[in-house]
A and B are shown apart, each in its own frame.
Chain A
């Protein structure tokens, strides 16, 4: 080798040794849907909030295990049962250099409760927010609420001056013709700032050096690209163009694990998938039974429950990527969930129950199901239909895209269904939400349990829910919750199926924390 060649080679080696270190801190990842806009209050949806959670912060935040820890508030206390006092962190800067103060909290909470906000449920309507001093804020409630800050990780705090300066106080509604500054730009206190946002194409983030906390991640840059096609998303990970993609379809799990340089991270998700039954109409809309509603009889509901082979669904359809559930809430979110067990799969018992109820020859029933919302949703419904056929219940399955499906079965469609599938995660990570939104009695206008599509109603459960809402002692509270769940279990208010698993495809270069709420936060990522 000539002298020139040697020195050239030496330069080349030096350059290639340096190159990975310089590039290592860029994270590239893909998700199935786009980040539609950056306004933190306009869409209450996990992915959007999770992305914005890298830029904005709330008064509290949650760690890898979803435990609450202080964020923009350093500490908080109950001054009296209806007055919460939050002591704000000092010396926190927004990404534009402005100081974070109590005024920003009041401003953000007002904006969050304003017209066009989709996050109004973050705090009770009549809550008053009072500034005590520049770094202390009181939240005054009309009735006690022991879980007040539980949803506040995603109650992001915006900068008052920045928002007013850019005329973005009003949240962009879809009827406006000019986009709001805040829906295309972001200015939070979080570990990353948005450097480029082209909706539906790409969003890039950069490390924010002025972050108040010590960074445990080693990223300088993050590039997010939405990739809608499952096959392309998986291919982008396998080819090394992406460091992380999610979600991964169940049929590709083995491919990614067997690739040698990528792996699949799985874990139970918080969402519970379940089946619901119309228990309120006097005659079902879609059934061969006329003049009465078979679902009003608890024996029929239990027969349906016991006819479903949940382990079969878990193994054959979910390929092990689901955990059968006895409750309507993830076991991670309720301390006493271990006391509850599913009714066993027993087609004979199910048949006997149907006979007792007066349907020895079964009947036919229309079932509604989404086909693009949950993991393998329509395949699960098909399996349920064939399992019910064994107890002589003929299911006419109607699987539809989510846009059409939800338009029909929710309040806006007049709860137009007899037998349906739904998935639910309590946004507060707390059982009370299940009792209030899914199990509470409702009227035809949807007052009460608005998402209680089947209209299950047990006044005793409602009474317990009222007590749970204001009970401040955790142990008594869990007792009450267990009582309520026992009642709904005995009533077979729903047929809980399972918690589906999260499936993230990850390059072996990455170490990261997978949170059970499917939030992907860059501050938990390190890249070698």
Chain B
């Protein structure tokens, strides 16, 4: 077990280093940060002096080593735009992103599962067909477009919900802010979570529907029916339980991507999370912020995978046998 974990760990470190290297070399192509840090009429000497102070004139291997050493100590440097430590900036943005991701995932599950069950059991009803058409929209329309549509419908035309931001937030401790405790905070969550969660909802709904169709044809369901169990017991206790296994796997994996790829939704709704910070950084060639975001995202995925691997090892005895 220990050997397995250790091997996985070494692999994870290699992946992280590779991401760091790719991220680092990508920054060579995004443009010149110095141009974004000074005004147009700043003199050439002043630009050169700044470049020197930032260490942009050092040889590449040196810059990379410095970057990796600092990153390993969670020191991502100072943001070029904001002149603040990148770690502080991210610490302030993480609550916003996590609350949005959590709400979207919840929305996806709470809406997706019942819709999936219904569509699986009542294949021919018009409501199922409606669900399927809606899900088609969820899969095929780009996120930013859905976001803008929702804004124009619910904010501009109906004026029910805010079009941007988090509303009023409450501070919990010194490091967490929440929008769950105020009315405006909750209202502000609705549109972005629907936008962000729509794709996942669609995915879950279609998955459950397909699984459901599969499962109700199996022998043990027929058996249950023969035992005279109520429909409710058959569908919800026996069928649903068996459809949930792939759903849980998918949800777990999707949670990572919801957090990592909330960028677009955050930009459309001016949601002050990490994704927005990242996109602003890209526009302004804020290399330290971009680097930190990429490393953080990679770290998130690598840790999720690491945990999943370990869980498989614990759950699946065959893996252990192969080891021996």
* Interface set of A (CB-CB < 8 Å, partner B): 30, 33-34, 36-37, 39, 42-45, 115-116, 118-121, 172-180, 183-184, 198-202, 225-229, 231-232, 235-236, 238-241, 372, 401-407, 410-413, 424, 427, 433, 437, 445-446, 450-451
Cβ of A420 to closest chain B Cβ, rounded Å: 14
| B22-52 residues at the A interface, CB under 8 angstroms | 29-44, 46-47, 49-51
B159, B163, B279: the one contacting A232 at CB < 8 Å is: B163
Asked if A183 contacts B84 (CB within 8 A), the reply is yes
Interface residues contributed by chain B, number (CB under 8 Å):
60
A174–B269 Cα distance when bound, in Å, is: 29
Contacts of B53 in A (CB 8 A): 116, 173-175
Cβ of A452 to closest chain B Cβ, rounded Å: 12
Between-chain CB contacts (< 8 Å), 5 pairs: A37-B84, A116-B53, A174-B50, A179-B88, A412-B34
Q: Within 8 Å of chain A (Cβ to Cβ): is B185?
A: no
A115, A239, A406: the one contacting B159 at CB < 8 Å is: A239
Asked if A120 contacts B156 (CB within 8 A), the reply is no
Q: Within 8 Å of chain A (Cβ to Cβ): is B82?
A: yes
Q: Which of B32, B51, B268, B279 has most A Cβ within 10 Å? A: B32
The A/B interface has a contact count, at CB < 8 Å, of: 180
Cβ of B42 to closest chain A Cβ, rounded Å: 6
Q: Within 8 Å of chain A (Cβ to Cβ): is B297?
A: no
Asked if B151 contacts A232 (CB within 8 A), the reply is yes
B32, B35, B38, B83: the one contacting A172 at CB < 8 Å is: B83
Cβ of A496 to closest chain B Cβ, rounded Å: 17
Asked if A179 contacts B85 (CB within 8 A), the reply is yes
A393–B44 Cα distance when bound, in Å, is: 34
Q: Within 8 Å of chain A (Cβ to Cβ): is B238?
A: no
The answer to whether A120 and B280 touch (CB under 8 A), given A173-B53, A174-B54, A199-B89, is: no
Q: Which of A120, A232, A241 has most B Cβ within 10 Å? A: A232
A43, A232, A427: the one contacting B164 at CB < 8 Å is: A232
Q: A232-B163, A236-B155, A404-B29 are in contact. List 11 more A-B contacts (CB 8 A).
A: A44-B38, A175-B78, A183-B83, A200-B82, A202-B165, A225-B165, A225-B270, A231-B148, A239-B163, A407-B31, A412-B35
A39–B84 Cα distance when bound, in Å, is: 12
Asked if B163 contacts A120 (CB within 8 A), the reply is no
A437–B41 Cα distance when bound, in Å, is: 8
Asked if B280 contacts A34 (CB within 8 A), the reply is yes
Asked if B84 contacts A412 (CB within 8 A), the reply is no
A307–B3 Cα distance when bound, in Å, is: 74
Contacts of B268 in A (CB 8 A): 229, 231-232
Q: Within 8 Å of chain A (Cβ to Cβ): is B258?
A: no
Q: Within 8 Å of chain A (Cβ to Cβ): is B256?
A: no
